[in-house]
Amino acid sequence: MTRRTARLILSIVMLIAATLGGVVATTGTAQADGCYTWSRTLSSGASGADVTQLQIRVAGHAGSGGALAVDGAYGPATTAAVKRFQTAYGLAADGVAGPATFDKIYALQDNDCTPIHFTYAELNTCNSTWAGGAVSASTAKANALRTMWKLEALRHALGDQPIRVTSGFRSHACNDAVGGAAGSRHLYGDAADLGSGPHSLCRLAQQARNHGFNGILGPGYPGHGDHTHLDHRASRFWSASACGI
């Protein structure tokens, strides 16, 4: 069953349930989502797993040169990222994550928590298990999820046109097969190579500087003439000399 089909069936079931119960969902209130549902408004000073879940989804709105820590603590950087997320999607930019912000996130995500324009399958053409890399399978998959939310922010900023991922997670075997670097971030699941069209590789690399990617390699960097590589390594390394980076 496709995800869309599953979602349609879920919608029908929910509609039937709502009709039988005599209850109609009110628009504008936070609605349950198959992936994750926030149960409280979050703002500066809050901490917890629900803040972590929020941070994963707004980390792509880290601002120029920024990289948001996904640490479960709602500080100034999280407030700023939430404000940028709200501005990007036409919401009142108060830096407080309440029902309107959560509703927008629900609208942007699938039931497996991936943003609507990217899939786990897209971020892993190596194997189906996410195993065999430099980290555990669950960590690799979690890293890929974070990358996808950053890509979603990048995609939106570039006018909601498609972005083409040509390589994501790689096991050691897959990395060796494509001649990847020994310590490649692809082994960690947090890297994505992007192909050109409709955006140029330089456009992708330049715009990525605003979306939380500590690693950006593109045209001008050895071996990157035909793709732009993005990742979230621990400290910044950007190199795409043909793009002025």
> Would you say 51 and 43 are in contact if contact means Cβ atoms under 8 Å apart?
no
Residue 83 interacting with Zn ion (CB under 5 A): no
SS3 141: helix
224 is catalytic: yes
Helix, strand and coil content of the chain, in percent to the nearest 5, comes to 40, 10, 50
Q: How far is the CB of 180 from Zn ion (least distance, A)?
A: 7
CA distance 78 to 5: 35
Q: How far is the CB of 241 from Zn ion (least distance, A)?
A: 17
Residue 229 interacting with Zn ion (CB under 5 A): yes
DSSP 79-132: HHHHHHHHHHTT----S-B-HHHHHHHHHHB-TTS-BTT--TTTT--S-SS--S
Residue 190 interacting with Zn ion (CB under 5 A): no
Shorter beta-carbon distance to Zn ion: residue 140 or 191: 191
Shorter beta-carbon distance to Zn ion: residue 97 or 191: 191
Q: How far is CA 119 from CA 3, 145, 199, in A?
A: 11, 9, 20
Q: CB under 5 A: which stretch of 22-30, 76-84, 93-101, 188-196 binds Zn ion?
A: 188-196
Catalytic residue, chosen from 61, 224, 229, 232, is: 224
Residue 192: strand pairing partners: 230
Shorter beta-carbon distance to Zn ion: residue 95 or 219: 219
CA distance 185 to 189: 7
**Bridging pattern class, strands 192-195 and 228-231:** antiparallel
Q: CB under 5 A: which stretch of 16-24, 28-36, 129-137, 183-191 binds Zn ion?
A: 183-191
Q: Which of 110, 122, 190, 193 binds Zn ion (CB under 5 A)?
A: 193
Q: How far is the CB of 166 from Zn ion (least distance, A)?
A: 9
Q: How far is the CB of 242 from Zn ion (least distance, A)?
A: 16
Active-site amino acid positions: 224
**What are the residues binding Zn ion (CB under 5 A)?**
191, 193, 229
